[in-house]
Amino acid sequence: MEAEFGVPQWTFRDSTWSFVSEQRIICTWLKDGISYLGSINLDTGQLETLPVPYTDIESVQADAERVVFLASSPSTFPAILELDLKTRCCAVLQCASQLALDPETIAVGESLLFPTENAQTAQAFFYAPRSRDFTGLPAEKPPLLVMSHGGPTGASHNGLRLVIQYFTSRGIAVLDVNYGGSSGFGRGYRQRLNGQWGIVDVNDCANAAKFLVRQGRVDADRLLIRGGSAGGFTTLAALTFTDVFKAGASHYGVSDLEALARDTHKFESRYLDTLIGPYPERADLYRQRSPIHAVDRLSCPIIFFQGLEDKIVLPNQAELMVAALIRKGVPVAYLAYAGEQHGFRQAVNIKRTLDAELYFYAKVFGFELADQVEPVAIIYPDER
């Protein structure tokens, strides 16, 4: 079977298949970013889809009678599930959260395929704003927040994510982009990013936003982008090297690729050789694609979030960028957290980060917040 990307519709990923017997494998596969659970008869090659109400499935383990897996759906939290292969009944063994959410408040991701560079197609999930109690003005289109996932060869799925619901419940549409290089769409799709990190991912995020603008679903003058770690690099590069986005948020993002190549941990020490080129032999590429060396091209507001104990993307990656933007006179905000590493774990800091990001966007676009949010110190040009 051939999919829209010219690759097999389903591909094995880590921990997504399990032998039941010599004649049968239980597996998952992706189509347009949606996960499916199925059974392969090794004698006939026939694939049978197993009916489960989940769209993000991984970590499959099975025997002749049951399948145990980790999964979520657009309206349910991640959980460990057990599927009885005889009765086809699915039971929850353990759920990540007991929080009850009103289904009428949940924005469900719509899988989109959009055109991008080189006559290719890429995939994203679009979440329209949703609230049980409020609607936007009739003639007003919502702001759009593009999300660039980390990895950068990871992937986004449409299981329930509260960070997305935070923004959609406050009137901001979200577009979660599986840019070229994302895993789960076949080898060719994954290899689009080889040697092209900072180009393919940036173009795909920009083209995804422009696609929704052409469809008339979002406001062209209120396009935002956010990302963490490698997604933070894509965010900063998109803000620096394109004119599509009006503001953004970098969560412990990379601004200097050379510094990342020199300072990152051993596990990813040669990762960039594939994504960019061998270092230091191709140091020119690292400099060309680093936002820190192209601040003169950057003119839109950015908020930075950084853990001061981050050993993967060191704090100076954010601090150098903030200092450069202050010198240039671009509005900027910086929140640094003591005791936080690569990704924030303290509940108070996670909440503060989301509130601060929303506050920043409200100030950039001049809208009032319904929530009481602690203000963020934003440095404006006339405050230097």
SS3 per residue for the chain: CECCCCCECCCCCCCCEEEEECCEEEEEEEECCEEEEEEEECCCCCEEEECCCCCEEEEEEECCCEEEEEEEECCEEEEEEEEECCCCCEEEEEECCCCCCCHHHCCCCEEEEEEEHHHEEEEEEEECCCCCCCCCCCCCCCCEEEEECCCCCCCCCCCCCHHHHHHHCCCCEEEEEECCCCCCCCHHHHHHHCCCCCCHHHHHHHHHHHHHHHCCCCCCCCEEEEEECHHHHHHHHHHHHCCCCCEEEEECCCCCHHHHHHHCCHHHCCHHHHHCCCCCCCHHHHHHCCHHHCHHHCCCCEEEEEECCCCCCCCHHHHHHHHHHHHHCCCEEEEEECCCECECCCHHHHHHHHHHHHHHHHHHHCCCCCCCCCCCCCECHHHC
> Looking at residues 97-115, what average pLDDT do you find?
94
Whole-angstrom distance between the N-terminal and C-terminal Cα of the chain? 59
> Looking at residues 186-202, what average pLDDT do you find?
96
Q: Does a cis peptide bond (omega within 30 degrees of 0) precede residue 103? A: no
Residue 335 tokens read as 């929140």
pLDDT tens, residue by residue, 339-353: 999 999 999 999 999
Residue 343 tokens read as 């990704």
Residues 6+ apart with CB under 8 A from 61: 18, 67, 68, 69
Alpha-carbon radius of gyration of the chain: 22
> Alpha carbon 248 to chain centroid distance?
14
Report pLDDT for 136: 84
Q: Which residues are catalytic?
A: 229, 310, 342
Rounded (10°) CA dihedral 186, 189, 190, 195? 150
- pLDDT category of residue 245 using cuts at 50, 70 and 90: very high
pLDDT tens, residue by residue, 113-168: 999 999 999 999 999 999 988 888 888 999 999 999 998 999 999 999 999 999 99
pLDDT tens, residue by residue, 288-297: 999 999 999 9
User: Which CATH fold topology does 104-383 show?
Assistant: Rossmann fold (3.40.50)
Q: What residue segments make up the domains of the chain, in order of their start?
A: 17-95, 104-383
Euclidean distance between CA atoms 19 and 88, whole angstroms = 18
Tell me how many degrees the CA angle 30-249-120 measures, rounded to the nearest 5: 40
Report pLDDT for 49: 94
> Looking at residues 43-61, what average pLDDT do you find?
92
Q: For the chain, what percent of residues have pLDDT higher than 70?
A: 94
Euclidean distance between CA atoms 159 and 157, whole angstroms = 6
Report pLDDT for 29: 86
- pLDDT category of residue 269 using cuts at 50, 70 and 90: low
- pLDDT category of residue 32 using cuts at 50, 70 and 90: confident
Comparing C-alpha atoms, which of 256, 270, 380, 366 is closest to residue 330? 380
Report pLDDT for 268: 63
Q: Which residues pair with 259 in a beta bridge?
A: none
Report pLDDT for 309: 96
Report pLDDT for 11: 45
Report pLDDT for 132: 87
Report pLDDT for 133: 85
- pLDDT category of residue 267 using cuts at 50, 70 and 90: low
- On the question of pLDDT at 314 being above 80, the answer is yes
Residue 33 tokens read as 């970013």
- On the question of pLDDT at 382 being above 80, the answer is no
> Looking at residues 12-17, what average pLDDT do you find?
54
pLDDT tens, residue by residue, 77-101: 999 999 999 999 999 999 999 998 9
> Looking at residues 239-261, what average pLDDT do you find?
96
Phi and psi at residue 368, to the nearest 5°: -90, 145
Report pLDDT for 15: 44
